Structure 1
C-alpha cells in the first residue's frame, strides 16, 4: 500500500496540535530519539521523500511536525488519512539539551501523555554507540505510562553483522527490553519490517 505524505503543521503548544477535522482521528505514530540519531533520515526513508528536514547540526527540530499519510497520490486532502506521523524534537545533545529539555514539559510531555490519537511511539536508539541513559529514561517513561512503543535501532549498516549483534545485545540488556528492530535509512534494511508494524496500526 503506497502512502503519500502531506505536511499538516508544526506545533510548539498543545493548542497547535491537529484537530480531528484535520486528521479524522487517524492513528498517530510519534518518532523520537536523541539528537543526531537519524530520525529525519528514517522518516524520509519510510516516506520515500524529503518531507522531514535533515541537518548536520543536531537539534534543529524544535517543534512537533505533523504529516498526514494518504493512500495513493494523496491529492484528496479532505479524505481520512491512513496514518499521521509526528516528528518530535531530539534530546540529549549537550550544547542545546537544556533549552530543549526546558521545552518538553510545555508541549512534548502533554502530547506523549495525553494525546488520545497517539497509537505508537517509535523510540530511536543508535546502534553504533553504547546505550545512553536518556534513551533508557525515555523507554521507562513509556513503560510507566503504559503507552505502546517500539524501539528501533538506527544506522545498522555502519558496522559488521557481528558487531551489530553485540551492540544490539547490549542495548537490549541495558534498556531492559526484549525487542529492538534494527534499520538502515541508507540501505533500506528493516524498513519493510517497520512498515509492517505501522500498517497493522492503520488496519
Structure 2
C-alpha cells in the first residue's frame, strides 16, 4: 500500500487528540518492540521516529494517510507510548493512564488496535494484560509478532505457538521490517478492519 503521509500532532492529553474523523489504527506494545519501525515499514518511508533507547515515545503520535495529498485522509495511524520498561520515570508512567486509557476506551474512531509482541522473547505478562484490557472493553485488535527475521523458521513457529497459547489468541501475524515479510498480511488485516 502506498499513501501520502502527514504527521498531525503529538498528544499527551485527550484535549490534544485530533477531532474524530476517519478510522484510526493504534499501534501498541512494550518499549523497544518495534512499533515505530513497523509503522515506517508499512508506509514505506520514515515518518515515525525510531530510537534505540526504550521509552522515547511519550505521547500518542498521529499520522494521517491520504490516497493523495489533495484528498481527505483515508485513515489515521496512532503510535502509542511503549510500556514495561523499568527505567522510565514513575511520574511519566503515572501520566499515561490519563490519556492512553481514555484513547483506547473512549475514542469513537478507533477501528483497530495492533498489539505488537516480540517473537524473540518468551510471552510477557504485560502483553497479556493489554490484550485482556482490549477484550474487556470490546475493542477490536490483532496481534503481530515483531523481529521474526531473527529466528529460524522452526524456532519462529515454536515462538508463535507459545505466543498464541499464552495470550489466548487464534492468530499472531509474524512481521519483519527489514525484509518486509508479513507487511502484506498485516495490510490486509488493517484494511479489513476499516468500516466499509
TM-score (norm 1): 0.93
**Which residue is equivalent to 1:49?**
45
| Residue pair 1:82, 1:202 contacting (<8 A) in 2 also | no
| Residue pair 1:83, 1:202 contacting (<8 A) in 2 also | no
Query: In structure 2, what is the Cα distance between the partners aligned to 1:118 and 1:100?
Result: 24
Count of equivalent residues: 195
Q: What are the residue-to-residue correspondences of 1:1-203 with 2, within 5 Å? A: 1-20=1-20, 25-72=21-68, 74=69, 76=70, 79-96=71-88, 98-200=90-192, 201=194, 203=196
Query: In structure 2, what is the Cα distance between the partners aligned to 1:174 and 1:66?
Result: 31
- Structure 2 residues not aligned, in runs of 5+: none
| Residue pair 2:2, 2:44 contacting (<8 A) in 1 also | no
- Structure 1 residues not aligned, in runs of 5+: none
Query: In structure 2, what is the Cα distance between the partners aligned to 1:100 and 1:32?
Result: 17
Query: In structure 2, what is the Cα distance between the partners aligned to 1:160 and 1:129?
Result: 14
Query: In structure 1, what is the Cα distance between the partners aligned to 2:133 and 2:191?
Result: 25
Query: In structure 2, what is the Cα distance between the partners aligned to 1:101 and 1:176?
Result: 27
Compute the displacement of 1:56 (Å): 0.6
Superposition CA RMSD, Å: 1.2
Compute the displacement of 1:92 (Å): 0.3
Secondary structure at 2:87 match in 1: coil
> Moved runs in structure 1, 4+ residues, more than 6 A?
none
Compute the displacement of 1:145 (Å): 0.7
| Residue pair 2:10, 2:61 contacting (<8 A) in 1 also | yes
| Residue pair 1:91, 1:100 contacting (<8 A) in 2 also | no
Query: In structure 2, what is the Cα distance between the partners aligned to 1:173 and 1:98?
Result: 31
Query: In structure 2, what is the Cα distance between the partners aligned to 1:155 and 1:4?
Result: 26
TM-score (norm 2): 0.96
**CA 1:131–1:99: 2 relative to 1, 3 Å:** farther
| Residue pair 1:28, 1:119 contacting (<8 A) in 2 also | yes
Compute the displacement of 1:98 (Å): 3.0
| Residue pair 1:6, 1:67 contacting (<8 A) in 2 also | yes
| Residue pair 2:6, 2:65 contacting (<8 A) in 1 also | yes
